[in-house]
Amino acid sequence: MQTLREVRHTLRGRLNALKLCTSALPLAESHEESMEYLDQIEQATDKIVAALDQLEEIVHEPGAAHL
């Protein structure tokens, strides 16, 4: 299981990826490029969901400090 610091790092990275892809999407020069950005957005959101699940596990560990 990841530590809280690792989960936080993962979340920040994926949120940054979302921010970059959503900023670049309107500038895409082709349908293929748009689809690539959309695929990257989907992958980032899947990883965010997984990181939130890991965060929930950390918070619910016996003896875990409440956030």
Q: What's the CA gap between 37 and 14, in Å, rounded?
A: 13
Extract the tokens encoding 53: 């699940």
* 12 has a pLDDT exceeding 60: yes
Residue 64's pLDDT band, with cuts at 50, 70 and 90, is: low
Across residues 40-44, what is the average pLDDT?
Answer: 97
Contact 21, 44 (CB under 8 A): yes
Domain boundaries, the chain: 4-59
Q: What's the CA gap between 8 and 39, in Å, rounded?
A: 23
Q: What's the CA gap between 29 and 43, in Å, rounded?
A: 21
Please state the pTM of the whole predicted model: 0.81
pLDDT value of position 65: 61
* 67 has a pLDDT exceeding 70: no
